[in-house]
């Protein structure tokens, strides 16, 4: 009888230990974000549109529960990914992310590059870049990387000359020749399309151009070349979450033939698949 009691007690203890380990494992999975829907922060166009295509046409078959949250700025998606409010984001390129991580102390890393949105120069005043008059005002994004990118675009279009070897932190101070005496109005990137009625021209990020019903492939006076571009937009997560099975699954879907065809059919050259 005493031996039986001892065995029963041992069995119960082992069962309790097993339940405790299971609970710990469950808690760990939950804490790592590996359960539940994958919540992805994205700019409305084209990022959220591409994600919603995946959600509506590919995710269920692949066993992925995907939730898309839209943001209209270039800051919140990263801070939300850093603090765990969302699991991932899709809106940015490598130079922008490098600058953001350095300045904000965040730990966001890329997972897979999906597309390029060519930066463009637009105007309601002129039809060609060389028609800009002396003293014309050009709006440019005010964040470090996109301002540098805008100035490089203007240089590629022959409107200004930049100092040799200028990098992703170029500012108007790096202009060495400005034959049209252009002046620059620095604005938050999201506001550049709205500035077109108040300035002579504006350099606008591809996603904001599309949202403003501009067609980069047709309407841009100068359009960024996709050749060897470092500005491909990618799915990103907080460092350590790259191996989340849900993230890996979304990465596969975002670089699938179906998504490539969706991008080509929907954006007609204004957004270019990078895979």
pLDDT tens-place values along the chain, 275 residues long:
334 343 333 333 444 434 343 333 333 333 444 679 999 999 999 999 999 999 999 999 999 999 999 999 999 999 999 999 999 999 999 999 999 999 999 999 999 999 999 999 999 999 999 999 999 999 999 999 999 999 999 999 999 999 999 999 999 999 999 999 999 999 999 999 999 999 999 999 999 999 999 999 899 999 998 888 899 999 999 999 999 999 999 999 999 999 999 999 999 888 999 99
Coil, helix or strand at residue 263: helix
- Identify the CATH homologous superfamily for domain 120-223: Periplasmic binding protein-like II (3.40.190.10)
Closest CA to 189 of 218, 150, 152: 150
Domain limits, the chain: 37-118+230-273, 120-223
| Domains 37-118+230-273 and 120-223 equal at CATH topology level | yes
**CATH no. of 37-118+230-273:** 3.40.190.10
CA–CA separation, 230 and 109 (whole Å): 15
**HSE, side-chain direction, 13 A CA sphere, residue 265:** 9
C-alpha 255, offset from chain centre: 15
* Angstrom distances, CA of residue 60 to CA of 33, 54, 131: 19, 9, 51
| Digit-coded pLDDT (tens) for 3-24 | 434 333 333 344 443 434 333 3
pTM of the model: 0.76
HEC string of 92-123?
A: ECHHHHHHHHHHHCCCEEEEEEEEECCCEEEC
The H-assigned helical ranges of the chain are: 2-31, 49-54, 60-62, 76-83, 94-104, 144-156, 206-211, 216-219, 245-254, 257-267
Q: Which two tokens stand for residue 200?
A: 């002579």
């Amino acid at each position: 009888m005493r031996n039986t009691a001892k065995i029963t007690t041992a069995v119960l203890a082992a069962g309790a230990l097993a339940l405790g380990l299971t609970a710990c494992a469950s808690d760990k999975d939950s804490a790592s974000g590996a359960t539940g829907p994958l919540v992805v922060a994205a700019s409305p166009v084209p990022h959220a549109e591409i994600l919603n295509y995946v959600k509506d046409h590919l995710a269920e078959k692949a066993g992925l529960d995907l939730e898309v949250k839209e943001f209209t700025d270039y800051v919140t998606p990263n801070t939300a990914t850093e603090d765990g409010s969302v699991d991932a984001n899709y809106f940015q390129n490598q130079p922008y992310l490098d600058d953001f991580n350095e300045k904000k102390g965040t730990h966001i890393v890329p997972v897979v590059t999906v597309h390029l949105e060519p930066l463009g120069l637009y105007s309601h005043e002129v039809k060609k870049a060389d028609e800009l008059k002396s003293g014309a005002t050009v709006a440019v994004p005010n964040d470090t990387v996109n301002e540098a990118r805008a100035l490089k675009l203007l240089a590629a279009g022959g409107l200004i000359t930049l100092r040799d070897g200028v990098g992703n932190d170029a500012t108007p101070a790096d202009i060495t020749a400005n034959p049209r005496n252009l002046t620059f109005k620095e604005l938050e990137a999201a506001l550049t399309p709205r500035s077109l009625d108040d300035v002579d021209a504006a350099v606008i990020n591809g996603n904001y151009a599309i949202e403003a019903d501009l067609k980069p492939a047709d309407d841009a006076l100068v359009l960024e070349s996709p050749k060897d571009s470092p500005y491909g937009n990618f799915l990103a997560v907080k460092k350590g979450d790259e191996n989340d099975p849900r993230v890996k699954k979304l990465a596969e879907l975002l670089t699938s033939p179906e998504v490539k065809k969706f991008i080509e059919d929907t954006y007609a050259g204004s957004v270019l698949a990078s895979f």
